[in-house]
Amino acid sequence: MSTQTKSKLFLLIIAILLLTNIAMLFFLFNKDKDGGKKSSFDRNAAAKDFLQKDIGFTPAQLQQYDTLAKQHREKMKSNFEEMRTAKELLFKEVGAQAFSDSVIAEAASKSAERQKGMEVQFYSNMLEVRKLCTAEQLPKFDSQFYKMWSRKPKKAEEKK
């Protein structure tokens, strides 16, 4: 296999992985289109439960968290819409330029930059949630915050 063919293959794989990551983030943060119902697992409720039980958030802190979470969801929703539009334009551009190596590399780079921006927003939101913690809660939050996003639905946990 020639070097040029390998390069094209690797760039195609990178583009597919980026698209898969974007799609997963979209489904994670977006409501289903069938009547606006969420799936049976409510990540926001699980996060609030974690903050209350594991970190020790007070009702006032939970109220502040609700406000932050709502703002974050709105930002992410608009970002996903922008990303979807930009992705369509990139697809058209790649197709119009016959999938050349340079165009594929540029499209992958643009997608990666957008993905990076989404990740930065996610961690910035976590920083804002962290700022709600008291001095006593900070060590628990810092060592366990990843659990807030890695929790599985209770039904899945019960089956184990």
| DSSP helix/strand/coil, 158 | helix
Q: Is the pLDDT confidence value at 155 over 60?
A: no
Q: Is the pLDDT confidence value at 3 over 70?
A: yes
Identify the pLDDT of residue 157: 44
2: left (phi over 0), alpha (psi -120 to 50) or beta: beta
Closest CA to 11 of 109, 84, 116, 113: 109
Tell me what the pLDDT averaged over the chain comes to: 82
| Cα dihedral sign, 112-117-120-125 | negative
Give the global pTM. Answer: 0.62
pLDDT tens for each residue of 8-55: 888 888 888 888 888 887 777 775 554 455 455 677 888 888 899 999
Strands (E), the chain: none
Domains of the chain: 42-153 (1.20.120)
